[in-house]
Amino acid sequence: VATFEPKGGCESHDGRSPINTSRIFYGIMFDAGSTGSRIHIYKFIQKDPVELPVLDNEIYHAVKPGLSSYKDKPEEGGNTIRQLLKIAKKAIPKEAWSRTPVVLKATAGLRMLPEEKANALLKEVQEVLDDSPFFVREDGVSIMNGANEGVLAWVTVNFLTGHLYSNTKKTVGILDLGGGSTQITFLPKSKTAPETYISSFDLFNHTYQVYTHSYLGNGLYAARLAILGAKDTDDHRVFTSSCLPKKFREDVTIFGTTYKISGYAGYKLCYYEVMKVIKGIVHQPYEVKGNSIFYAFSYYFDRAVETGLIDDRGGVLEVRDFKKRAKEVCNKMTKYRAISPFLCMDMTYITCLLKEGFGFKDSTVLQLAKKVNNVETSWALGATFDYYRNLNIH
């Protein structure tokens, strides 16, 4: 029997609490990202009162655009969350609703908004969750710290690959490329990194000290704006880039703002443009040299699939594979333009981020994965564990 009883401060607005007297319990985690909102509905089974719960399955659904695109229409943003909650009502038995916690954590999209606009969105979402039949804590809606995003994604992937249960110190690193920010997290073999890049936390009766950093403004869509020189501006001039197809001229909307964009193709010129956005900004961790395998997901995975490097089941690549395909995409843009006119820019950015940013070798092995054991590779599962860690498990 698993019973989750909140410690002090865990009461919901209406006094409900996630007390569970059955062997099966659920958790709902919203990932409010810069380019979309995703709901993760987890079903856990407690096989033994003293053992860790087992993740039975996950139901996942996503909608676009992200909450930050509703910065001037918070009610419409709230409605996207309301629609996703309908999926949770269908997935979870009615008798379990009042004891099933629902949490929403926003990431880089809201971190980049002016505070008053971000707060208006959070307030609207809080009201939507409060109106739901699920258990909502007072701190159930928040903007997540970037470092936590990396740490919790690391927890998710290492839990799903079995490394958190093993007695060995062998773990895998993670590379997460979102729309607004990018994260790198791994267990370092030596302690040469600056203190601000090391995070210590306790989980599953172990203390971990990981290297982790989140680069706000270096996610894929934020990088597009920086490469175009359109960052921090709302004017209507035409922004140009050698990372776009020749004679390309279109209005493109990024994070809710529309820009006029034109292009004049070429990989070498594109790489030079991208370098200016990365060089000197991204810290090169010495410890990644010779480190264990890294799992790469989010836009790393999406672009690898779109350019045919892997299929949608994922796969193993080396950094040089991204570089080779980036060159091909940039030099044969007519072939790839139908997929996305930004494909050359995105693939060059990924290549440059891995090589010039993080300092990976061409031969560094990356495991590209959208799911591990049918569960999404994201920080959401790690955040759910972190939520329950603050509750008593009997």
User: Which amino acid, one-letter code, is at 150?
Assistant: G
Domain harbouring 121, CATH code: 3.30.420.40
Whose CA is closest to 185, among 269, 90, 311, 287?
Answer: 287
> For tokens 């061409």, what's the residue?
362
**Residues 369 and 251 grouped into a single domain:** yes
Domain harbouring 217, CATH code: 3.30.420.150
**Residues 305 and 290 grouped into a single domain:** yes
The answer to whether residue 81 sits within a structural domain is: yes
Give every CB contact of residue 51 below 8 A, 6+ residues apart in sequence.
Answer: none
**Residues 180 and 264 grouped into a single domain:** yes
Residue 82 belongs to domain spanning: 23-144
**Residues 124 and 221 grouped into a single domain:** no
**Residues 85 and 134 grouped into a single domain:** yes
Distance CA 377, CA 369 (A): 7
- Hey, what are 66's tokens? 């992200």
Distance CA 244, CA 273 (A): 12
**pTM for the whole thing?**
0.87
Q: Is 18 helix (H, G, I), strand (E, B) or coil?
A: coil
Q: Is 196 marked as a binding-site residue?
A: no
pLDDT tens-digit readout, 28-37: 999 999 999 9
Torsion angle, alpha carbons of 351, 356, 361, 365, to 10: -40
- Rg, the chain, Cα only: 21
Distance CA 250, CA 150 (A): 35
**Phi/psi of residue 180, nearest 5 degrees:** -105, -25
- Hey, what are 338's tokens? 């139908």
Looking at 144, 175, 196, which one is the last position of a domain? 144
The answer to whether residue 18 sits within a structural domain is: no
Looking at 98, 120, 144, which one is the last position of a domain? 144
Q: Is 179 marked as a binding-site residue?
A: yes
**Residues 43 and 115 grouped into a single domain:** yes
Q: What is the DSSP letter of 52?
A: P
Whose CA is closest to 58, among 88, 32, 99, 102?
Answer: 88
The answer to whether residue 323 sits within a structural domain is: yes
The answer to whether residue 315 sits within a structural domain is: yes
The answer to whether residue 321 sits within a structural domain is: yes
Q: Is 180 marked as a binding-site residue?
A: yes
**Residues 262 and 347 grouped into a single domain:** yes
Give every CB contact of residue 266 below 8 A, 6+ residues apart in sequence.
Answer: 242, 330, 331
User: Which amino acid, one-letter code, is at 73?
Assistant: K
**Residues 264 and 331 grouped into a single domain:** yes
pLDDT of residue 36: 95
**Residues 106 and 187 grouped into a single domain:** no
> For tokens 């995070």, what's the residue?
199
| Structural domain count, the chain | 2
> How would you classify the pairing of strands 391-393 and 294-298?
unpaired
* Region for 73 from its dihedrals, namely left if φ exceeds 0, alpha if ψ lies in -120 to 50, beta otherwise: beta
Looking at 112, 144, 176, which one is the last position of a domain? 144
pLDDT of residue 18: 55
The answer to whether residue 165 sits within a structural domain is: yes
Peptide linkage before 285 cis (omega within 30 of 0): no
pLDDT of residue 128: 97
> How would you classify the pairing of strands 206-216 and 371-372?
unpaired
The answer to whether residue 155 sits within a structural domain is: yes
**Residues 97 and 178 grouped into a single domain:** no
Q: Is 86 helix (H, G, I), strand (E, B) or coil?
A: helix
> For tokens 């909608």, what's the residue?
63
pLDDT of residue 264: 79
pLDDT of residue 1: 20
Alpha helices in the chain (DSSP H): 74-91, 108-111, 115-130, 146-160, 220-228, 267-278, 299-306, 319-331, 333-336, 343-352, 380-389
**Residues 220 and 359 grouped into a single domain:** yes
Q: Which residue numbers are catalytic?
A: 149
The answer to whether residue 205 sits within a structural domain is: yes
Question: In tens digits, what is the pLDDT along the chain, a chain of 394 residues?
Answer: 222 233 334 445 555 555 444 489 999 999 999 999 999 999 999 877 666 678 999 999 999 999 999 999 999 999 999 999 999 999 999 999 999 999 999 999 999 999 999 999 999 999 999 999 999 988 899 999 888 999 999 999 999 998 886 666 689 999 999 999 999 999 988 778 888 999 998 877 788 899 999 999 999 999 999 999 887 666 667 899 999 988 889 998 888 888 889 887 789 999 999 999 998 899 988 878 766 789 999 999 999 999 999 999 999 999 999 999 999 999 888 788 888 999 999 999 999 999 999 999 999 999 999 999 999 999 999 999 888 776 433 2
**Residues 49 and 150 grouped into a single domain:** no
